[in-house]
Amino acid sequence: MEYKIVKITDLTGKDKTDERARNRLGRIMELNKNDIKIGKKLMMSCVNPGWMKSVITSKVKDVVCADDGLIITTENSVYFLVKKDLAKVLR
C-alpha cells in the first residue's frame, strides 16, 4: 500500500524541523504494514524517488494502524502516514 508521510515528530510530540525530516515529509512510500517489525529498523521505499530511494528509520517501538493510515513510533521519532488516496483529500 502507498502512504504519504504527513508529519514527523520527536518522542515528545514536537515537530521535527531538521533537514532529514523536512526531506522526508510529503514523500509517497510503498509499505506493507505486515513488514513492520517491533525492535527492527524499518525501510520504506519511495514511490517518487528522485534523489531519495528509501527511508530507513531507527528501530520500531510501536505501530498504530487505523483505517486512514499508520502512526509508527521509532527510537527517535514518530511518523504519521496517511493512505495515498486520502492524502489528496486532506490537502
Confidence bin at 86 (pLDDT 50/70/90): low
pLDDT above 80 (res 89) = no
Cβ-based neighbour number of residue 42 at 10 Å = 19
Confidence bin at 73 (pLDDT 50/70/90): very high
Over residues 14-44, the pLDDT tens digits come to 999 999 999 999 999 999 988 999 999 999 9
**Residue 40 grid cell:** 527492527
- Percent of the residues in the chain that have a pLDDT greater than 70, as a whole number: 91
More confident residue, 62 or 34: 62
pTM of the predicted structure, to 2 decimals:
0.89
Euclidean distance between CA atoms 81 and 69, whole angstroms: 5
Contact 62, 33 (CB under 8 A): no
